[in-house]
Amino acid sequence: MSLLKTMTALGVASAALFSVSGSFAADLSIYSDKTPWNAGMTGLADAASKASGATIKLQEITPTDKYQAFMQTSIASNNVPAFFTWWNGNQLSDLVATGAVADLSSYWDQAIKDGNFSATQKDLVSVDGKPYGILLNVANWVVFYNTKDFAKAGIAAPPTTWAELMADCDKLKAAGFTPFNAPASGGWMPFIWFSQLVLGTSPDAFVGLTSNKAAYDGPEVHKAFALWADMYKKGYFTDPREQDDSKFFADGSAAMFLIGDWHSGQFATMGMKPGVDFKTFLMPSVTPDVPQSIIVEASPIVVSKAALAANADLGKAVTAMMGVDGANQLGSSVQAYDGNLKATPPNDIIKADNDLVAAAKPRALVRWWEAVPSQIQGDLVAEMGKFMLTPTPDNGEKVMTDMQKINADYWASK
Amino acid sequence: MVNPASAMLSPEILKDARARERRVAWRQTRIAWLFIAPAVFMVSAFLLAPVVVNVILSFTKWQKFTGLDKFAGFSNYQRLFAVPYFSEALTNTAFWVVGAVVLPLAVGLALALLLRNIPFQETLKSLYFLPKVLAPTAVGAIWYYVYAPHGVINSIVSTVTGQKFDFGWIYDDNTVTPSVIVTFVWQTVGITMVLLLLGLAAIPRDPIEAARVDGASSGQIFRHIIWPLLLPTVLVVTILNVAAGFTTFDLLWVMAGDYPGKRTLSLAVYMYYESFSNGGWAYGSAVAVVLGAMVIAVSAGLAVLQSRVEKRIR
Amino acid sequence: MAVDITDPQFIKSLIDKEKLSQRSGVRWLLVPIIVVTLAYLTPFYYLFVTIFKTTPEYAQKGVLELPSSLAPFLDNVAQAWNIAHLGAAGFDSFTYALIGGAIAVAFAAAAAYGMTRLNLIGANGWFMLIFTGTLFPFQMYLVPLLFGYQRLGIINTWFGMLLVYVAICIPFPLLVLRNSFSGISKEIDEAARIEGASEWRVFTSMIVPNAIGPLIALFLLQFTFIWNDLLFSSILANGIEVRSIMVALQSLQGTYSTLGPNVVITATLISSVPTVVLFVILRKYFMAGLQLGTK
C-alpha cells in the first residue's frame, strides 16, 4: 500500500473515531461519585428520562477527588453536565458563585405545596435563601450500637447522658469489647470525632470554627482534644490504621460506630439486620447544660443552568426526581432516604432516627465537612488524622496550633 | 554531488545537473516531511504544547472553578516559599533522589560483583529483573501489606522477638520515606545489576590479571581499574535513577494510602495533591514547573558529566 | 618484584592459585547470594501464600503461614474480577498497550526513516524538537492535558487515552531507531531507489526488516510501559469502561475495604500476568531493549 493511501486511511479512521467519541457528549448525563448507590442513581436517571423525554444517562466517576477534579475542569471549560451530585454548605456556595447551576426556587415551592418536602429541608440546599439543588440524601449522624455486645456487657438501654456513655464504655471494655469503631481511612473520616467532640462541648464554637469566629486552638477545642486524648488513653477507640471502615463493627469486636445513618444499608449487606442486630441512639452532649444537637448531612443533585435554559422539558425531570416515586425507588434499591416526607423510610433504622429526631428536636447543624471552606478542608483533615495516629496531649497541642495556622492564613488571604 | 569528471562538460549542463539535484533534494525533503509528520504532530500536540500551557497556567489564579482568566503574576511561586509543605516536599524529594541513585547502585554493584562468575547467572539475572517488569502500582500494593501494621515485616519481628509488634512503617513520619525507598530499591536493583554486569563484562581482563600477579588486593583492583572503566555505565544508571527519584509517583501514592502527611512525600506527589485533590490548579502548575526545571538542570549536568567521562576513557 | 615468567613451575603455581580461588570463591559467595535472594523473594512468597486464603482465614492466620487449601483462589479471582471490573479494564489496557505501542513504534520508525535515509533539511532540528519531549517530567503534562481534553470532549474516552499513550511512547523509540537506522548501509536504499521503488516501499521492504530486533524490543518496552501506567489513566480516562487495569487495581485499595488483602493481592497477580508472561517468553528482547536504552 502506498504511503499516501496509508495516510488517507489513517486520517479517515481517526476522524471516524473522533466523531464517535464526540457523539457521547451530546447525550445528557447525570454524574455521580456515589458508586455504591449505582442502582438507585440509575433508577433516578430512568425516571428523569421518562419524564422529560430526553435520554439521560448515569455516569459515575470515583473516587471523590477525581470526581471533583472532573467537575472543576468541566465548569472551568464551560462544559457543565446537565445533572450532577454535589455537597451542600460551603461547597455548594462555591459552585453557585460560578453561575453554572440553576436556581430551583419554583420547583421547591411546588414541592413544599405538594407536601413532598418542608421549608427547613429547602434551607439545607440553599445559598442566600435560594435553593440550588434537589435532595438526594438526607442523613442524621447517630451512634450505631451492636445489640448483642450491649447485652453481653450488661447495658440495658442506650445512654442518654455523657456520663452514662462513659460508664457504658467502661462496661464494654470489661466485657472485652472496644467501645468505638473509629477508623481514620478514606481521607475524610478523621473529622468525625473531632467535630462531634467540639459540637458536644460547645455548638457555637462548632459553628464558629468554620466561619472564623472560633479558633482551632481555642479553649473549646482544647477541651475537646483533652477529652479525645483521654478516651484514647482509656482504649475506647479501635486502631485508626485499619483500612476497612466497617470491619470491627461488623465482626462485633467494636460495639459502637458514630456515622451517618445511610450506613445502615451497608451494614445490611454485610449481614446485620437493621433494628435487630444493631440499633441507634443520639450522641449525648459532653457538657450536661449544652442542648442536644445533631449533625445533618444533606447531599444535593444540582442542575446546569445552561441545560435547563436550553431544554424546558428538563424541568419535568427535576419534578420527577423530587417526587414520591423517585424517593421510594431510591429507598427500595439502595436504602437511601432523600427526605421526601411522603415516602416510606427505607429501613427501620432510618425510620427510628427520624422518630428520634422528631421527638428530641435537637438543633440541626451542617456537617463540618460541608461547612469548612473547601480550600483548607483536606489540610485540616490531614492534621486531625495525624492526631489520631499519635493521640497524645503534646501532639494534640501541635495539631491544634497547626490547624489554627492553616485556618488563619486562609481567612487572612480573603 | 557533482562528479569532478563532469568539469569537462559545458556550464549549461552543469547548471542543469545542479538544479536537478536540488529538485531531487527538495522532493526527498517533502516526502521526508510526510514520514516525520505523525511523530512531530503527536509530540508537539501532546508533549510540547502542554508544557507551554503549564507554564502559562502557573501565572493564572485558577483554583477550583474560577480564576483561569485572571493573571496572578508570580503569586503562585511566592506561595511556594511561604507554605511549609513545599519545603517539606523538597526535602523529601532530595532524600529520594539521593536514595534512588546511591542505594540501587551500591546494592546492584555488590550483587553484580557477587554474581559475576557463578553458575545459574541467567536465571538469577531474570529473577532479579522481574520486579522491574511489574507495575509500580502492583509492587506498591504488595509492599503495602508487607509494611502494614499486621503485615509481613511485623509478623517476622513478632515471631523472632516473641512480642506483638505492630509498628506502622508507613504511618510514622520518620520511617515512611525510607520504607518506600526500600521498595523502590527492590524494584530497580535488578535492572541496575544487569546494566552493571554488562559494564563489568566489557572491562578487559588483562589489566586485572596483571595487577593480581603484581600482588594488588581486590580493593585496590576495584578502585583503580574496575571503577574508572565502569564509570560510564554508572553514569547511565545514575541518569536513569535520578529522573525516577524526582518523579516517582505511583509507588508513593499507592503505598502511602491514608498516611496524613502524604502530600509532602515528594514534589511529584505534592503537585498531584495540590492540583487534583485540593483544586489548586494554578498552584500545582507552578510546582510542576519548579519540578521540571530541577529535573532538566540535574539531567543536563549529568549528561555533560557523562560526555566528559566518555571522552576521557577514549 | 622480579618474576621469571618463563619458569613453568611458577606458571603452574599461578594456575593452581587461580583455580583454587575460583572454586573456593564460588563456594564462599554462594551463602550470601542465597540469603540475599531469599530475602528478595519474600514478597513473592507472601503473594503466593495469600492468594490461596479466604478473607477470614487471612485475618486469623499469620501472614506468612501457608494456606489450608488451594481452593479459595478461584473465589478470590472472581471477587477481584467482578468488583474492580478487571475484565473491562484489562481489555482496555491490552488494547491501549498493543495498539498504542505498535502505532508509537511505527510513527517513530517512520520519523527515524525520514530523518536518516532521506535528505531532510534540518533533520537534526526536527530530532531535537521531538527529543525535548523526553526532558520534561510527566507532572508538567497533567493539568494542561486534563483541561485540553475536557474542552475537546475526549476526556474519559478510549480514543483520547490512546492518543496520549502514542505521543508519550514516540520519543524514546525514535532515539533508538535513529541510531539503528543510521547503521544500515546506504547501498540498500540506493539500489532499491534506482530500481524505481517509492520511498514507502523502501521503508517497508528494506529498512524495517533489517531492524526487526530493535523494533520488537522497543515495542515490548512501550507495551510494558503503557500496561503499567497509573498516572495518565487515572486523570484522563477514569471511567469504568475506559480505565487502565492499574487504575482498577488501585480502586480496590481502601474504598472497597470489605475485601481482605487476599482479594487485593489476587487482583495484583491478575494485573501482572500479561507483562510477566511476555517477559518470560521474550526475555531476550527485554534484555536487548535494556541495552538499547543505555546507548
Out of A66, A79, A250, the one facing C150 most closely (by C-beta) is A79
| Right CATH for B71-313 from 1.10.10.10, 3.30.70.1520, 3.40.50.720, 1.10.3720.10 | 1.10.3720.10
What per-residue confidence (pLDDT) applies to C99?
A: 96
pLDDT at residue A396, rounded to an integer: 95
Q: What is the distance between the alpha carbons of residues B110 and B115, in angstroms, rounded to a whole number?
A: 9
Yes or no, beta carbons of C200 and A62 under 8 Å apart: no
Q: ipTM of this predicted complex?
A: 0.86
Q: Which of these ranges, A400-414, B98-112, C40-54, C245-259, has the smallest mean pLDDT?
A: C245-259
CATH of the domain at C89: 1.10.3720.10
Question: Is C153 contained in some domain?
Answer: yes
Average pLDDT of span A35-42? 84
Read off the DSSP letter of residue A142.
E
What mean pLDDT do residues C279-288 have? 83
CA distance A306 to chain B (A): 16
The domain limits of chain B are 1-48, 71-313
Residue type at C159 in one-letter notation: F
Calculate the average pLDDT of chain B: 87
- C135-154 pLDDT, tens digit each: 899 999 999 999 899 888 88
Contacts of C154 in chain A (CB under 8 A): 18, 21-22
Which of B35, B118, B247 lies at the smallest CB-CB distance from C110? Answer: B35
Q: Do C158 and C231 lie in a common domain?
A: yes
List the subunits that have 3+ CB pairs under 8 angstroms with A: B, C
Highest averaged pLDDT of the listed ranges A84-98, B61-75, C187-201: A84-98
Q: Which of A3, A72, A385 shows the shortest C-beta gap to B260?
A: A385
Give the pLDDT of residue A12. Answer: 59
Number of domains, chain C: 2
Q: What pLDDT, on the 0 to 100 scale, is given for residue A1? A: 45
Residue C22: its pLDDT value, please? 58
Q: How far apart are CA B49 and CA C151, in angstroms?
A: 15
Does residue A206 carry a pLDDT above 90? yes
Q: Which three cell numbers stand for residue B282?
A: 494554578
> Does residue A25 register a pLDDT over 50?
no
The answer to whether position C13 is within a domain reads yes
pLDDT at C143: 92
**CB-based contact C200 A6, cutoff 8 Å:** yes
Residue A20 above 50 pLDDT? no
Cβ of C150 and A2 within 8 Å?
A: no
Average pLDDT over residues A35-44: 86
- Per the rule left: phi > 0, alpha: psi between -120 and 50, beta: everything else, A280 is beta
**Average pLDDT rounded to a whole number, residues B289-296:** 94
Answer yes or no: is C133 within a domain.
yes
Residues C63 and C200 in one domain: no
**pLDDT, tens digit (0-9, with 9 covering 90-100), for A326-381:** 888 888 888 888 888 888 888 888 888 888 888 888 888 889 999 999 889 889 99
Written as one string, the DSSP assignment of B17-31 is HHHHHHHHHHHHHHH
- Clarify whether residues C255 and C186 are in a common domain: yes
Find where cell 458514630 sits. Answer: A258
Verify whether the Cβ–Cβ distance B281 to A72 is below 8 Å. yes
**C107 and C152 housed in the same domain:** yes
pLDDT band of A4, cuts 50, 70, 90: low
Higher pLDDT, B68 or B275: B275
Q: Per-residue pLDDT for B230 more than 80?
A: yes
C24 to each of B117, C7, C10, C30, how far by Cα in Å? 12, 26, 21, 10
Determine the distance in angstroms separating the CA of B56 from the nearest CA of chain A, rounded to an integer: 16
C-alpha distance from C124 to closest chain A C-alpha (Å): 23
Minimal Cα–Cα distance from A182 to chain C, Å? 15
- Using a CB–CB cutoff of 8 Å, tell me whether B50 touches chain A: no
The predicted pLDDT at position B2 comes to 55
| Higher pLDDT pick, C228 / A291 | C228
In a domain, C3, yes or no: no
Residue B32 pLDDT: 85
CB pairs under 8 A between A and C: 69
pTM for the model stands at 0.86
Mean pLDDT is lowest, of A222-231, B3-12, B241-250, C147-156, for B3-12
B53–C107 C-beta distance less than 8 A: no
Average pLDDT on A49-56 reads 88
Residue B130 grid cell: 522481574
* Position C23 pLDDT exceeds 60: no
Measured distance CA(B167)–CA(B176) in Å, rounded: 11
**Do residue C111 and residue C166 come from a single domain?**
yes
pLDDT of residue B7: 58
C2 assigned to some structural domain: no
CB contacts of B151 in chain C (<8 Å) are 63
Instruction: Examine the domain organization and report whether C126 and C268 are in the same domain.
Output: yes
Instruction: Show Cβ contacts of residue B187 under 8 Å, excluding neighbours closer than 6 positions.
Output: B131, B132, B134, B136, B139, B251
* pLDDT average, residue stretch C177-189: 82
- Residue B242, pLDDT > 70, answer yes
CB contact under 8 A, B258 and A185: yes
pLDDT band at A22 (very low <50, low <70, confident <90, very high): very low
**Cβ neighbour number for residue C95 with a 10 Å cutoff:** 14
Which residues span the domain enclosing C140? 85-292
Chains sharing 3 or more CB pairs under 8 A with chain C: A, B
The reply to whether B280 touches chain A by the CB within 8 Å rule is yes
Residue C152 sits in the same domain as residue C201: yes
The reply to whether C69 and C105 lie within a common domain is no
Which residue in chain B is spatially nearest to C174 when comparing CA positions?
A: B39
Which of B62, B68, B261 faces A382 most closely, judged by CB atoms? B261
C71 and C166 in a single domain? The answer is no
Choosing from C49, C76, C103, the residue where a domain stops is C76
Q: Could you tell me which residues come within 8 angstroms of residue A156 by beta carbon, excluding any fewer than 6 positions away?
A: none
Confidence of residue B291 (pLDDT cuts 50, 70, 90): very high
Which of C38, C58, C76 corresponds to the end of one domain? C76
Which residues touch A285 (CB under 8 Å, ≥6 apart)?
A162, A199, A200, A291, A292, A293
Query: Cα distance from A249 to chain C (closest Cα, Å)?
Result: 12
Read off the pLDDT of residues B30-55 as tens digits, 9 standing for 90 and up.
Answer: 888 888 999 999 999 999 999 999 99
C257 domain-assigned: yes
Other C-beta atoms lying within 10 Å of the C-beta of residue C138: 18
Same domain, C72 and C103: no
Q: Which of B42, B48, B114 sits opposite C107 (nearest CB)?
A: B42
Give the pLDDT confidence of A242-293 residue by residue, as tens digits.
Answer: 878 888 898 889 999 999 988 888 788 778 888 899 999 999 999 888 888 8
Q: Which of C160, C251, C257 sits opposite A62 (nearest CB)?
A: C251
Q: At which of C43, C76, C109 does a domain end?
A: C76
Report pLDDT digits (tens) over A118-170. 888 888 899 998 999 999 999 999 999 999 999 999 999 999 999 999 999 99
* CA angle centred on A377, ends A373 and A378, rounded to 5°: 155
Instruction: Tell me how close the Cα of B219 comes to any Cα of chain C, in angstroms.
Output: 15
Q: Are residues C135 and C170 in the same domain?
A: yes
Whether residues B42 and C167 touch (CB distance < 8 A) is answered with yes
Please indicate if any CB of chain A lies within 8 Å of the CB of B258.
yes
Q: Is the pLDDT of residue B297 over 90?
A: yes
**Minimal C-alpha gap between A235 and chain C (Å):** 22
